[in-house]
Homo-oligomer: A and B are copies of this chain.
Amino acid sequence: MIEDKNPQRTPLSELGEFGLIEHLTNHIEIKQPSTIKGIGDDAAILDFEGKKTVVSTDLLVEGIHFDLSYVPLKHLGYKAVMVNLSDIYAMNAVASQITVSIAVSNRFPVEALEELYDGIKMAAKIYDVDIIGGDTTSSNRGLIISVTAIGYAEEDEIVYRDGAKEKDLLVVSGDLGGAYLGLQVLEREKEVYKVNPNTQPDLDKYSYVIERQLKPEARKDIQQLLKKLDVKPTSMIDISDGLSSEIIHLCKQSKVGINLYEDKIPLDPTIISTCEEFSLNSTTVALSGGEDYELLFTINQDDYPKIKANPNLTVIGHVLDEKSGMALVTRANERIELKAQGWNPMKG
């Protein structure tokens, strides 16, 4: 589907392992003042000058987390970084460095890894993080990417998952469900392509949801926005697995209950129309879809005036005591228990 017509193919063996790492990393610039030493020694050296260090790591496996038949390698590299930066921003911290390890089979030429690294470097540049280390190694099958993101924060800025308090408001950034729908569109096109490889798909009307899937953006801006608005969330998490399961994480760790209002869940118009086309319930998609990398957080009610006019933020629920449980309040005003994937009618 997305393919270079005249690909140049340099076998990995031509560079060797040391040559490959050097080739992929030799133009990497160091810009963060906290990076004392990046790639090129046994380990990288960082200096956070009294601030707390924040660390998060993720592993992406071909065939499980991505399908190279429709994911361009450059986008994959970009997304692998986003997934990790999102975790740093969810601590209300500043992301400053990443390490990138890649295992790759011989079926990938050097040019493919260059593409992947182009995406990684682009993400690092846009999000202002330094690439400070990594490992490039062989795999007997497929592509594996492991990214560790590092950041910093003042102690009193850090937001954990366990700080939500009764009567707090539940807030989400952006809109939900797009990444999942983008995946549905791409999967459908893959099937169409299998039947007729000459089809030229017209994906224009799906460009929003496809971009949400292929090139998500971690919400660095929200962390900065909240600082500007002088709002410190009481708890925060990023939405990688779907709204429902993230709400459950926040509530369980904070030992609180919640009412999530179905009619408040922010949905882009494209999402509503695409859901209709695929005969999917848009609430289910938002609750269980995942991969939107929006931020979900709770704020004290007193902070509501500071955020209410902001188009990036939507209040979608409010925090209850633990006994009240975690529920979706439907448009029909029914209270339904939240489940990690989808939901079931509440007992009692």
Contacts and interface: CB of A to CB of B under 8 A. Distances in A.
A102 to B, nearest CB: 8
A297 to B, nearest CB: 11
Interface string A32-73: 000011001111111111101111111101111100000000
The quantity of this chain's copies bound in the complex is 2
A307 interface: no
A342 interface: no
A244 interface: no
Contact of A43 (B36, B40, B42, B88): B88
Given A58-B101, A64-B137, A45 B53 contact: yes
Contact of A148 (B46, B144, B148, B162): B148
A52 B36 contact: yes
Interface stretch (A74-82, A128-136, A193-201, A320-328): A128-136
A61 B160 contact: no
A139 B18 CA distance: 26
Given A52-B47, A137-B61, A161 B42 contact: yes
Interface stretch (A91-99, A209-217, A266-274, A281-289): A91-99
What range describes how many residues of A lie at the interface?
35 or more
Contact of A238 (B42, B57, B144, B340): B42
Contacts of A102: 59
A65 B137 contact: yes
A146 interface: yes
A59 B160 contact: no
Interface in A9-37: 18, 36-37
A57 to B, nearest CB: 4
A315 interface: no
A150 B93 CA distance: 18
Contacts of A146: 57, 59, 101, 146
Interface string A108-135: 0000000000000000000000001111
Given A91-B41, A160-B41, A138 B64 contact: yes
26 contacts: A36-B52, A41-B162, A42-B56, A43-B90, A43-B149, A45-B52, A45-B158, A46-B52, A47-B53, A47-B155, A49-B50, A50-B50, A55-B148, A56-B133, A57-B99, A57-B101, A57-B133, A57-B148, A58-B101, A63-B140, A64-B139, A64-B140, A65-B137, A139-B144, A140-B141, A140-B142
